[in-house]
Structure 1
Amino acid sequence: MQTDLIAALDIGGTKIAGALVGEDGQLLVRAQRPTPAKENAGVVMGAVTEVLRELTAAPEWPRAAGLGIGSAGPVNASTGTVSPVNIPGWREFPLVAGVRETVGTDLPVELVGDGVAITAAEHWQGAARGRAGALCMVVSTGVGGGLVLDGRIHPGPTGNAGHIGHISVDLDGDACPCGARGCVERIASGPNIAARALSEGWLPGPDGDATARGVAAAARAGDPIALASFDRAAQALAAGIAATATLVEIEIAVIGGGVAGAGDLLFEPLRRHLKSYATLSFVSGLEVVPAVLGTDAGLIGAAAAAAQGLRLPPFATGA
């Protein structure tokens, strides 16, 4: 039988999704379960197993040439283990071994961090398609990312390369849960945008929405504190993006995630601040654009990362 599909898993703190992905990025078969994030390791793996069993029961399953996993991290591709911050029951958990036990040891498996998976998706089918150097980011409850270098996804030896959320952009900034100070994530993530606005005296509207979405609504209405909180987040992102571009000479930064859904509230100050940070001639033309693939990016990207890492024809990954 022709092996013209790749199986994909997208594992996060809210949901565990699976799919069989075609060479054009189409999701042919889907399965999904809520992530029992507060449960022990075995219960969480049980949800992964349910998703995989649903996929393996599909008549298309024998066409799978390999399996890609994009997981919340940190991940360690060299050992096949994961330690997601938002799944406390998994610490150095042997995810790849557990997946192989379910699907069979003959199927090759590739593990990457979720930021790398989304980068692979946007490079294969999205806003970074055809670009030789790119940084793709997710700005949501956290800030993650991944790199395209020389036209190929660059996951690094452990699958975490490009994790821009934990670049420090404020030397005397607040402590970050990662152990460092002044990280991009500590300033620009959705919860921290909201926390900053609240600490400066912003009050939620009649609907009581105290999240970044509520701050965005207030900013659109002209609230100066809400606008300042988004401006500060944009400045942190600009500093991190410029540092990355200066280091590895990317030509485009693609930003997705819930905070990016604020549109010009984020992108206008981001582009403005970027002019103050990306000043050298080889980074001054850096583009910043929204991601285009939405909620399926994790699955599409897990398949794309597997296609590249496992060298599975006939898939192309946008190079």
Structure 2
Amino acid sequence: MPADSAALVAALDIGGTKIAGALVDGRGGLLVRAQRPTPARQDGAVVMAAVADVLRELRACGLWPRVRAVGIGSAGPVDAAAGTVSPVNVPGWRGFPLIAEVGRRTGGLPATLVGDGVAMTAAEHWTGAARGRANALCMVVSTGVGGGLVLGGRLHPGPTGNAGHIGHISVDLDGERCACGGRGCVERIASGPHIARRALDAGWLPGPDGDRSAAAVAAAARAGNEPARAAFARAAQALAAGIAATATLVEIEVAVIGGGVAGAGDVLFAPLRERLRDYATLSFASGVEVLPARLGSDAGLVGAAAAAAQEHGLWGALPGR
């Protein structure tokens, strides 16, 4: 498919809370948006009907004739080779043929499917904190922990679209059982719910509003609460170990961290950078830079579009082309 500066990509960002869609241009601009709540506890057909509503709204826009491809970033696991998704937080979709269903509703446009962590990575590499870096790890640290890789200047989704899923690297060999079935995963220690659980177990008490979120723990840590500070220090240690392992394996230059937990700022980033020095000790891994993500909640849409553009040869100026 030749490069076409007027071409647009229809992007979908599918999660357990919302299904977002947009038409994205070659500069990463979101020209038209549509969104529906995810009926996550309904059956698969009801969830797909919400996706279809988003696509129907996008197709009704006068810009639709310029759409050349569809990019989909989905909560995972995903299987890009099979075109299926099995999001942990959407029980009605198990091996759901999302690519085929989307194709039926877009006139057979070529579609690219990646995990949501990979989509975030594509976005940060294209227009965010990893722009201009040839080798990067980008992470979403939120309710879960996901990620993706840029290697040799190109997004590296892997055969199934899940490469770089750092949340399920084990960093505590005898640690607690993770929802994935493994033990001591980064996600089991560093995700928002587990930061809050660790702080509560250590004696942190929520304020009068009863907020038990990781954001509330971060606020307490900034105020000097020791159990809250310790919970973030433990999360930072787990993230540092996972980043160092990745740097040792594939020689990344930068680790970009986004998601709700990253909103804690220096409560997370200061101990993370300090502990990274303990783990990334080899000369080729020790220079990894840790940066906050830039794109926020639009990263999934921008990244889904970028992944599709890379696969289908759109937008010749896209990084990596």
TM-score category by the smaller chain? over 0.9
Q: Which runs of 4+ in 1 moved over 4 A?
A: none
Equivalent residue number for residue 182 of structure 2: 180
1:25 has 2:28 as partner: yes
| C-alpha distance in 1 between matches for 2:259 and 2:32 | 24
Equivalent residue number for residue 34 of structure 1: 37
| Distance apart, 1:71 and its partner CA | 0.3
- Decide whether the 8 Å contact of 2:8 with 2:66 is kept in 1: yes
Q: How does 1:204-219 map to 2 (within 5 A)?
A: 204-219=206-221
1:75 has 2:89 as partner: no
Match for residue 222 of structure 1 among 209, 220, 224: 224
Match for residue 232 of structure 1 among 234, 239, 243: 234
- Decide whether the 8 Å contact of 2:9 with 2:70 is kept in 1: yes
| Distance apart, 1:2 and its partner CA | 7.7
Match for residue 170 of structure 1 among 169, 172, 175: 172
The TM-score, its normalising length taken from structure 2, stands at: 0.97
| C-alpha distance in 2 between matches for 1:58 and 1:315 | 26
| Distance apart, 1:155 and its partner CA | 0.2
3-state SS, counterpart of residue 147 of structure 2: strand
- Decide whether the 8 Å contact of 2:146 with 2:167 is kept in 1: yes
| C-alpha distance in 1 between matches for 2:259 and 2:157 | 20
| Distance apart, 1:116 and its partner CA | 0.4
Q: String of CA shifts for 1:82-133, please: whole Å, max 9, x gaps.
A: 000010110000001110111111x110000000000000000000001010
Q: How does 1:47-66 map to 2 (within 5 A)?
A: 47-66=50-69
- Decide whether the 8 Å contact of 2:5 with 2:315 is kept in 1: no
3-state SS, counterpart of residue 308 of structure 1: helix
- Decide whether the 8 Å contact of 2:6 with 2:25 is kept in 1: no
Equivalent residue number for residue 88 of structure 1: 91
Q: How does 1:129-208 map to 2 (within 5 A)?
A: 129-208=131-210
| Distance apart, 1:198 and its partner CA | 0.8
| Distance apart, 1:217 and its partner CA | 1.1
Letter in structure 1 aligned against 2:155: I
Match for residue 241 of structure 1 among 217, 238, 243: 243
| Distance apart, 1:200 and its partner CA | 1.2
| Distance apart, 1:199 and its partner CA | 1.1
Tell me how many residue pairs correspond in the alignment.
Answer: 318
- Decide whether the 8 Å contact of 1:35 with 1:47 is kept in 2: yes
| C-alpha distance in 2 between matches for 1:48 and 1:137 | 25
Where does the alignment leave 5 or more consecutive residues of structure 1 unmatched?
none
Q: Report the aligned-residue RMSD.
A: 1.1
Residues 191 and 303 (structure 1), Cα distance of their counterparts in 2 relative to 1, 3 Å cut: same
- Decide whether the 8 Å contact of 1:241 with 1:253 is kept in 2: yes
1:10 has 2:13 as partner: yes
The TM-score, its normalising length taken from structure 1, stands at: 0.98
Percent identical? 74
| Distance apart, 1:317 and its partner CA | 3.1
Match for residue 112 of structure 1 among 94, 114, 132: 114
Where does the alignment leave 5 or more consecutive residues of structure 2 unmatched?
none
- Decide whether the 8 Å contact of 1:3 with 1:62 is kept in 2: no
3-state SS, counterpart of residue 276 of structure 2: helix
Residues 201 and 26 (structure 1), Cα distance of their counterparts in 2 relative to 1, 3 Å cut: same
| C-alpha distance in 1 between matches for 2:173 and 2:17 | 32
Q: String of CA shifts for 1:283-304, please: whole Å, max 9, x gaps.
A: 1111000000011000000000
